[in-house]
């Protein structure tokens, strides 16, 4: 009988502890992002990894696979910069050991954040020509990450889908490069996690059909992009602690390498991981 009483008491204490934990978690879901004070001007440093591969879209044969590692720094009076940028060829996305070559023209590349100047060729004048497409990828991915955290997170409520009107049928045109038409984007604050000792909102995003077009001297491209991913945004200071995005682009490509039109599947994965 005494053992039974002890077990019952232990169970009640355990249940009470779980109930208290549930209530403790609930307070985070009731946070209004608008009321969180953003620390935009505090310097944040991210380890960035960008992997991409080009495949024959029909048979899946690999054409190439590459990885870039870099350090992204944001918060210096509205300016951002890139450092320690290196590029390596790899066998596949699962490869973790590789030796990259440094890209000097991308190291110490700095500019004003959240400015549409990044769409112009003049913006990249100090970047070597062969590295400009890569620079445009890195810059636009960083702009999306910071923009969603700074301007869209305020509109989110836990478990409620949100589709920003600004991203409905919105064209993003890079001078002499790509035109990307954003059909829509859906975001949802789906849960919470902990990263870098910060309690974070898990914000999932997706966009499954976006026309892509390139028409210049180097290549002609017509296709579509789909992408999805998630961000972990601090519920203390509204900083992105971690972000990952996957993109898949099916495109018809004509270039010097493919004088006869080729159907290509471009797959990308980019990760921003804030350093403590």
**Contact at 8 Å (CB) between 242 and 272?**
yes
User: In whole angstroms, what is the distance from residue 233 CA to residue 236 CA?
Assistant: 9
User: In whole angstroms, what is the distance from residue 225 CA to residue 267 CA?
Assistant: 10
- The pTM for the full model equals 0.89
User: In whole angstroms, what is the distance from residue 39 CA to residue 239 CA?
Assistant: 7
Contact residues for 33 (Cβ-Cβ < 8 A; gap 6+): 153, 154, 155, 156, 201, 238
Joined together, the tokens standing for residue 66 give: 């590459």
Those residues of the chain that have pLDDT short of 70 are: 1-23
The residue assigned the tokens 């999306």 is 144
HSE, side-chain direction, 13 A CA sphere, residue 158: 13
| pLDDT at residue 161, rounded to an integer | 97
DSSP bridge partners of 262: 253
| pLDDT at residue 62, rounded to an integer | 95
pLDDT in tens, 36-80: 888 777 899 999 999 999 999 999 999 999 999 999 999 877 789
Contact residues for 106 (Cβ-Cβ < 8 A; gap 6+): 70, 82, 85, 127, 131, 134, 135, 138
| pLDDT at residue 5, rounded to an integer | 64
The residue assigned the tokens 């038409």 is 181
Contacts 24+ apart (CB under 8 A), 73-77: 73/43, 73/44, 73/45, 73/46, 74/43, 74/44, 74/46, 74/113, 74/142, 74/146, 75/39, 75/40, 75/41, 75/42, 75/43, 75/44, 76/43, 77/41
Nearest one of 189, 188, 145 to 163, comparing CA atoms? 188
| pLDDT at residue 142, rounded to an integer | 94
| pLDDT at residue 20, rounded to an integer | 47
User: In whole angstroms, what is the distance from residue 10 CA to residue 16 CA?
Assistant: 10
Q: Is 250 exposed, middle or buried (0-12, 13-18, 19+ CB in 10 A)?
A: middle
């Amino acid at each position: 009988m005494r053992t039974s009483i002890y077990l019952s008491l232990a169970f009640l204490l355990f249940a009470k502890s779980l109930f208290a934990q549930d209530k403790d978690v609930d307070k985070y879901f009731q946070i209004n992002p608008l009321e969180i004070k953003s620390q935009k001007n505090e310097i944040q440093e991210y380890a960035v990894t960008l992997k991409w591969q080009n495949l024959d879209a029909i048979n899946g044969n690999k054409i190439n696979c590459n990885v870039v590692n870099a350090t992204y720094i944001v918060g210096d009076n509205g300016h951002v910069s890139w450092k320690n940028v290196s590029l390596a060829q790899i066998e596949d996305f699962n490869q973790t050991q590789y030796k990259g070559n440094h890209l000097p023209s991308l190291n110490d590349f700095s500019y004003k954040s959240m400015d549409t100047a990044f769409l112009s060729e003049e913006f990249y004048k100090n970047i070597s020509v062969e590295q400009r497409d890569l620079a445009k990828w890195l810059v636009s991915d960083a702009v999306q990450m910071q923009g969603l955290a700074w301007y869209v997170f305020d509109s989110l409520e836990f478990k409620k889908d949100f589709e920003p009107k600004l991203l409905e049928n919105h064209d993003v045109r890079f001078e002499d490069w790509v035109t990307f038409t954003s059909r829509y984007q859906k975001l949802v604050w789906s849960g919470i996690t902990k990263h870098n000792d910060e309690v974070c909102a898990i914000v999932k995003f997706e966009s499954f059909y976006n026309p892509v077009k390139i028409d210049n001297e180097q290549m002609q491209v017509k296709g579509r992009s789909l992408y999805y991913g998630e961000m972990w945004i601090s519920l203390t200071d509204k900083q992105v602690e971690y972000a990952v995005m996957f993109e898949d682009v099916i495109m018809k490509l004509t270039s010097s390498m493919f004088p006869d039109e080729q159907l290509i599947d471009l797959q990308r994965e980019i990760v921003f991981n804030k350093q403590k």
